[in-house]
Amino acid sequence: MSLENNLTLSILAKAENEGYGILAQACYDASMAVGLVRAAERARSPAILQIFPITLEYAGAPFLRFLVDLAHSASVPVSVHLDHATTAEALEVAIGLAEKQGIKFDSIMVDASHADTDEENISIAVPFIKRCNAQGISTEVELGRLEGGEAGVREITGEMLTDPSKAEVFMKQTGANILAPCVGNRHGSYKTFGGPQWKMDLLETLCKQFKGRVPICAHGTDELPEHYWTDMIKLGVTKINVNSWCRDPYAAKLSSGLASKPFPEAQEEATEHFAKECEKWMKLFGSAGKA
């Protein structure tokens, strides 16, 4: 199956051409998914709904079917992405659902960045990437290694910055479509590291190198100051992963609401709160009104 009409790739290609970023929001439950789609429709913005393998493990095939139905029946383009599929088991589950049941993510991050060398990273990733492509699923890979951890992502140490001179060969040999570079970005909190210190010159080099060919994805976006978002979009980053910024206000609203209100009322309030948070990012990223 060709990737020509792949939804994640077409959303990112349009964003790059028109100079805006795409909110790739981590969702952990159905209400968050509903909230993200609501935000996208209201803002007339494309979006990427992403989950971690732990959520797929928790809720299984029917939940993925629900997410895909929900996203694909939206009145604006919303694709469904599996973030950080780091183990053979997680990849087997996700690709197996496509191969055996026809329930397909639009894109999957085949993350072998725990490998000790690029060669090992490539050899782990390639067989899975081929199977994804055969199902029309595009793939994201990480070159280098991001430190840190966040809900749904394993804790990892030993940061390795992405080497632009190796990136071309890496993308060619993996056959992947989207690059998640390591430019000093980290998962989780930057507090113990004196705040975020991304190497914007390295990010710029990579964006220029892959312009019009390979969309660049930003990971590790907790606690970033506002200028980071506009700066990275200016450089050409299109897929922007967001996790706690929208999740935490949702969780807080849901738990406070449940203390005093009937479940459906608390759920609706929390969903709406999440949707409003998502809309803020769509406006900041310049994607509002683009769909």
Interface contacts to Zn ion, rule CB under 5 A:
219
Residue showing tokens 């989950």: 51
Q: Please, which residue, 177 or 267, has the CB nearer to Zn ion? A: 177
Which single residue brings its beta carbon nearest to Zn ion? Answer: 219
Token pair listed for 124:
């782990």
Min CB(95)–Zn ion separation in Å: 20
Q: How far is the CB of 266 from Zn ion (least distance, A)?
A: 30
Shortest CA distance to 6 belongs to which of 121, 107, 119? 107
Q: What distance in Å separates the CA atoms of residue 107 and residue 80, rounded to the nearest whole number?
A: 7
Q: Which is nearer to Zn ion, 81 or 219 (CB)?
A: 219
Buried b or exposed e, range 187-218, using 16+ CB within 10 angstroms: bbebeeeeebebebebbbbbbebbeeebbbbb
* CB 241, min distance to Zn ion, A: 5
Smaller CB separation from Zn ion, 66 or 228: 228
Please state the closest distance from residue 86 (CB atom) to Zn ion, in A.
10
Distance separating alpha carbons of residues 27 and 226, to the nearest angstrom: 22
Closest distance between Zn ion and the C-beta of residue 83, in Å?
A: 6
Residue 221, Cα to own-chain centre: how many angstroms?
Answer: 11
Shorter beta-carbon distance to Zn ion: residue 219 or 290: 219
Q: How far is the CB of 100 from Zn ion (least distance, A)?
A: 28
Q: Give the separation between CA 30 and CA 8, rounded to whole angstroms.
A: 20
How many Cβ atoms sit within 10 Å of the Cβ of residue 280?
A: 15
Nearer to Zn ion, 219 or 253 (CB): 219
- Cβ-based nearer residue to Zn ion, 25 or 267: 25
Tokens at 289, concatenated:
């009104």
Active-site residue, selected from the candidate residues 29, 83, 106, 118 = 83
Count other Cβ atoms within 10 Å, centred on residue 267.
Answer: 19
Would you call 83 a catalytic residue per the annotation? yes
As annotated, the active-site residues are 83
